[in-house]
Amino acid sequence: MTARMASWLPLSPGERAVAIEVLVHGPLSRTELARRLGLSAGSLTRLTKPLIESGLLVETPENGAPAAGRQGRPSQPLDVVADSRFFVGFKVTEDMVYGVVTTLRSDIVARLDRPLTTHDPGRVADLLAAMTGELAAGFPPLGGVGIGVGGLVRERSVVAESPFLHWRDVPLAALVEERTGLPAVVENDVAALVEAETWFGAGRGLDRFVVLTIGAGLGYGLVLGGRRVPCAEEDRGFGRHWIIDPYGPLTPTGERGSAVSLLTIPSIRYQVQAATGRETTYEEILAGAAAGEPMAARVVGEAARALGILVAQIANFVMPQKILLAGEGVGLMDVAGDTVRTTLRAHRHPMAAPVDLEVRVSDFHDWARGAAVLAIQVLVLGAVEA
Amino acid sequence: MTARMASWLPLSPGERAVAIEVLVHGPLSRTELARRLGLSAGSLTRLTKPLIESGLLVETPENGAPAAGRQGRPSQPLDVVADSRFFVGFKVTEDMVYGVVTTLRSDIVARLDRPLTTHDPGRVADLLAAMTGELAAGFPPLGGVGIGVGGLVRERSVVAESPFLHWRDVPLAALVEERTGLPAVVENDVAALVEAETWFGAGRGLDRFVVLTIGAGLGYGLVLGGRRVPCAEEDRGFGRHWIIDPYGPLTPTGERGSAVSLLTIPSIRYQVQAATGRETTYEEILAGAAAGEPMAARVVGEAARALGILVAQIANFVMPQKILLAGEGVGLMDVAGDTVRTTLRAHRHPMAAPVDLEVRVSDFHDWARGAAVLAIQVLVLGAVEA
DNA sequence: CCTCGTTGATTTCGTGACGAAAAAAATTGG
DNA sequence: CCAATTTTTTTCGTCACGAAATCAACGAGG
C-alpha cells in the first residue's frame, strides 16, 4: 500500500483561506491569490509552501495560455491535485440510495444507485458501506464519505429525526465509519446541496445567497456571509405554511393555497388528477400546458405565478445577490418562465435591483454530490458547523 | 478654551472592538471583556491603556455592587465617559426639523424642534447650524452632527435624491460642516434608525435582525452579521409592491392590497374616511376598533392580519433572531396584537422557532437619535460604510 | 547575442498583536 | 498577620504579516 496522506491536515486560517480560494476558483497564481486575499506576495510564498509539500496543491506544469504576449516572468499557477483524494457522496431517499464519487473539485467521476429495501439503520449502513466499497474500487485514495438524508441532522453525524425513514437519533456517521474505516459526515440533504452550491456552484463568493428547491417538497436554504443559516424546520417541511393565495387549491399536503400545494410535483399532479380523473406525470402536465390544454395550463400557470410571488418575497426581504432554483421540478421554468418573471417584477419595487435568478436542473446525483462536498469541507479543510 | 480632544482617534481593530463592547454593553471589567472578545487578560491591559489615556474610557470609581461577598481582587469595571463628548442628531421632515443632543451612550439629554419653512438647501443648512448652536449651548465638547433624511443618501454625505424635499445631489454634510465647523454625517432616516437599534437598541449583539417601521410609510431594515444591508429602494418606497391580499383595499398609494395600502397611517385613515365620510385620526380609529365600531374594527383587523402575514414572511425567509416593530403606527399592536400574533403563527411552520417580536413606540426624536448614533459610529469609532 | 526592462517568486528582516506564565495587587477569611 | 483567591500588570516568546531587496524567467530591442 502506498503511503497514505493524513486525512485531516491542521491548516492555519491563512492556509485554509488559500486552500479554499484555489479549490473553489480554479488555478491561481500566487500574485493573484495575494490580490484576492489582501495579502502580500511574501505571505503567499510562506502559506503555499506547506500546502504544496502536503500534496494538496501543485504548481500546474501545463501553462494552458502561456502569458500570451505578456512579458515578465510567467506566473506559476497553483491548483489542487484534484485526484489526490476522492470522496463518496450519498443521497438516501425512502426507496433508493444514490451514490457518486467526486474529485476534490467536486466533479463527479462515478455513479452507483441501489434500491433501499429496508429502513433498519444497521442494514442501511451495511448498504452504504457496500456501495462505498464498489464505488471506491477504481479510486484508491478515498478521503471520506458524505451522506445526505431528508430530516433533522445534528452535529453532522446523528440523524435526530427522519420522518420517511422512521428514524430517531440514529448515529449514522458512526455506523458507516465502523463498516468502512473512513471518516463520514451526515447532513440534511437540502443543507448539503446548499453548501455545495455555495462553495462550488451558483453561490461562489456571494455574501447573500438563497437556494430554493422544487420537487417532491420544497427546500429553502439561506446563505449569509458565506455561511448557511441553520434552522429548525429544515426537515422537509418548508412551505407548508407559506400561504401564497388564501383562495388557492386544497391538496393533501400543505395548507390551502400554500407554496407546497401550488408548487410541489405531487400537488400539481393531484390537482390535475382531481380535475380530469386521469393519472398523469409531471412532465406530461408541463407538456400539456405548453400545448395549450386548458386544465394543465391553468394549474401550471397558477404554479408559475406562485413561484413568481415566492421569489419576489424572498428578494424583497432577504435581498440576496442571487437566487438559485433547483430540484426536479424546475422544468416549470422552461414552460412558464415568462409568467414567473412577469409576476416577479409585479411584486418588486420598480427601483429595486433586478433579481438574479438562476435555474439549475438537478437530479438525485446532484444531491449526492452535495453530500460529497460536505465531506470535502469537513474532512479536508476542517470547516466547522455554525 | 479647554484642550480639545481629537475628534477622530485612529483605533486598531482590537481597540475598536473593546471600545464598541464597552460602549454598547455598559461597564465591563477587563476580565469580562477578555472573555467576551476571546482575548487574553494581557491583551486587555494593552488595548485598554490607550483608550483610557485618550479619555474615551475610565475605570469607574463607584463600584456599585462591590463584589458583594466575593473574595479576590475586586474587578475594575471600565466605562465610557458618556459626557466626554456630546452629539447632535437631526431628523428632517417635509415641514419640521427635530433635533436632539445625546451622550456617547446615545442617551438623549436635550431636544429642540423647529418648523421647516423652506426647502432651499442653503437655508436648511442654515437652520440646522442655528439649531446646532442652540442645542450645543449647554454641552461644550461637541463631537459631531448626524442628520437623517428620507431619501437616497450617498457616501454618508450627499442627498442624492429626496422626493419630499425636491433635492438632487445636495452635499448636505459639507454645507453643515461649513456653517458649524463640526464634522457632519448624513444618512437615510430609516437606515439611521436601524443602525441605532443595532448598536444600542433591540438588535444589540444579534447576527440577524430586522426592523420594520410603520407610520406615514413603511420602513424595512435588514441587519446581517451586525451590518445593515444597503439597498436601492430605501427611499421611503418600501412595501408598495408587497402584495399581501390581491383582493385587499385600493388606496391612493401602493398597489391594491399592498402592505402600504393595508398598514400605513394615511391608508388606514383613507379607508375609514371612504367608508364613513368622516375625517378621523389614526388614534381615533384605533380607539374605535377597540370599542367595537364595525368599520374601524374591520379596517384595523385587516391591518393586523396583514402585519401578521408580513412578519411571518420575514421570519420565514430571513430567519432573524429578532424583529423590531417601530414607528408612529405601532399602536396597532396595542389594539390588535393578538390578531397579529395569531395570524403570524398560522403562517409559520409549527416546528419553527417562535418569532421574537419586539414593539417600540417611537416618535420623531428617536429618529433624530438614530442620526446621532450614526455620528458616533463614524466620528468616534471610525466605523465605515459597507 | 546580449542587455535592459518587466513581472513573478523568494528571502530577509522588522514590527506588531497575541498568549502563557509569572508577578503584583487587592480583597476575604481564618 | 497569613493564606487563599481573583483581578490586573508585566515579561517574554511566538507567529503572522508587510516592506524591500533579491533572484528568476521571460520579451523587446539594439
Do residues B183 and B145 lie in contact, with contact meaning Cβ atoms separated by under 8 Å?
yes
Is B246 within 8 Å of A243 when comparing Cβ atoms?
no
- Cβ-Cβ contacts under 8 Å, B240 against chain A: 349
Neighbours of A42 (CB within 10 A): 10
Query: What is the reported pLDDT for A61?
Result: 67
- Cβ-Cβ contacts under 8 Å, A237 against chain B: 349, 351
Q: Express each pLDDT in A9-52 by its tens digit.
A: 678 888 888 988 898 887 888 988 998 888 988 899 999 998 88
* Beta strands B357-361; B322-327: pairing state: parallel
Edge-to-edge strands of the sheet including B142-149?
B108-115, B96-102, B86-92, B142-149, B184-188
Cα–Cα dist B125/B139, whole Å: 21
C-alpha cell read off for B105 = 451612550
Cα–Cα dist B334/B117, whole Å: 35
C-alpha cell read off for A270 = 393531484
Confidence bin at A363 (pLDDT 50/70/90): confident
* DSSP calls for B263-288: HSHHHHHHHHHHHH-----HHHHHHH
Query: Which nucleotide minimizes the distance between its C1' and the CA of B72?
Result: D6
Is B347 within 8 Å of A318 when comparing Cβ atoms?
no
User: Which position has the grid cell 424572498?
Assistant: A314
C-alpha cell read off for A317 = 426581504
- Comparing A187-196, B63-72, B229-238, B266-275, the range with the smallest average pLDDT is B63-72
Report which of A86, A128, A90, A88 is spatially closest to residue A364, judged by C-alpha positions: A90
Cα–Cα dist B256/B260, whole Å: 9
Is A225 within 8 Å of B224 when comparing Cβ atoms?
yes
Query: Which nucleotide minimizes the distance between its C1' and the CA of B40?
Result: C19
Neighbours of B322 (CB within 10 A): 18
Domains in chain A: ranges and CATH: 1-62+76-81 (1.10.10.10), 86-196+366-381 (3.30.420.40), 204-362 (3.30.420.40)
Is B353 within 8 Å of A231 when comparing Cβ atoms?
yes
Do residues A195 and A311 lie in contact, with contact meaning Cβ atoms separated by under 8 Å?
no
What is the percentage of chain A residues whose pLDDT exceeds 90?
65
* DSSP calls for B86-141: EEEEEEE-SSEEEEEEE-TT--EEEEEEEE-----HHHHHHHHHHHHHHHHTT---
Is B240 within 8 Å of A349 when comparing Cβ atoms?
yes
Handedness of CA B93, B99, B100, B101 (dihedral sign): positive
Cα–Cα dist A177/B199, whole Å: 46
Our CA-based measurement puts residue B23 at a distance from the nearest CA of chain A, in whole angstroms, of: 25
Q: Express each pLDDT in B174-186 by its tens digit.
A: 999 999 999 999 9
Q: Of chain B residues 191-220, which have a CB less than 8 A from chain A?
A: 208, 210, 220
**Which residues of chain B (164-223) touch nucleic strand C at CB < 7 A?**
none
Q: Of chain B residues 218-257, which have a CB less than 8 A from chain A?
A: 220, 222, 224-225, 229, 231-233, 235, 237-238, 240-243, 245-246
Is B347 within 8 Å of A241 when comparing Cβ atoms?
yes
What is the percentage of chain B residues whose pLDDT exceeds 90?
66
The residue of chain B nearest to residue A240, with distances taken between CA atoms, is B349
Q: Does any CB of chain B come closer than 8 Å to the CB of residue A115? A: no
Is A347 within 8 Å of B243 when comparing Cβ atoms?
yes
Confidence bin at B357 (pLDDT 50/70/90): very high
Query: At residue B341, what are phi and psi to the nearest 5 degrees?
Result: -70, -40
Q: Does any CB of chain A come closer than 8 Å to the CB of residue B361? A: no
Q: Express each pLDDT in A304-356 by its tens digit.
A: 999 999 999 999 999 999 999 999 999 999 999 999 999 999 999 988 889 99
Do residues A285 and A299 lie in contact, with contact meaning Cβ atoms separated by under 8 Å?
yes
Average pLDDT, chain B: 90
Confidence bin at A66 (pLDDT 50/70/90): low
| Closest protein CA to C1' of nucleotide C26, residue | B73
List all residues 6 or more positions away from B241 whose beta carbon is below 8 Å from its beta carbon.
A312, A316, A346, A347, A348, A349, A350, B254, B255, B258
Cα–Cα dist A172/A185, whole Å: 9
Would the pLDDT of A62 be above 60? no
Is A232 within 8 Å of B347 when comparing Cβ atoms?
no
- Strand D bases, protein C-beta under 7 A: 4-12, 15-21, 24-28
Confidence bin at A1 (pLDDT 50/70/90): very low
The radius of gyration computed from the CA coordinates of chain A, to the nearest angstrom, equals 23
Residues in chain A, overall count = 386
Q: What 3-state class would DSSP assign to B302?
A: helix
Q: What is the dihedral of CA A283, A367, A261, A308, to 10 degrees?
A: -80
CA-based angle A141:A143:A144, to the nearest 5? 135
- In a mutagenesis test of the B interface, which of A152, A211, A241, A310 is the best target, namely the one with the most B β-carbons within 10 Å? A241
Confidence bin at B8 (pLDDT 50/70/90): low
Cα–Cα dist A118/A108, whole Å: 27
Cα–Cα dist A262/A257, whole Å: 6
CA-based angle B259:B265:B269, to the nearest 5? 110
Q: Does any CB of chain B come closer than 8 Å to the CB of residue A348? A: yes
Average pLDDT, chain A: 89
* CA of residue B137 relative to chain centroid, distance: 25
Q: Express each pLDDT in A135-167 by its tens digit.
A: 988 887 888 999 999 988 998 999 999 988 999
Q: How far is CA B274 from CA B140, B246, B294, B297, in A?
A: 53, 19, 14, 15
A35 is near strand C: CB distance < 7 Å: no
Cα–Cα dist A80/A263, whole Å: 40
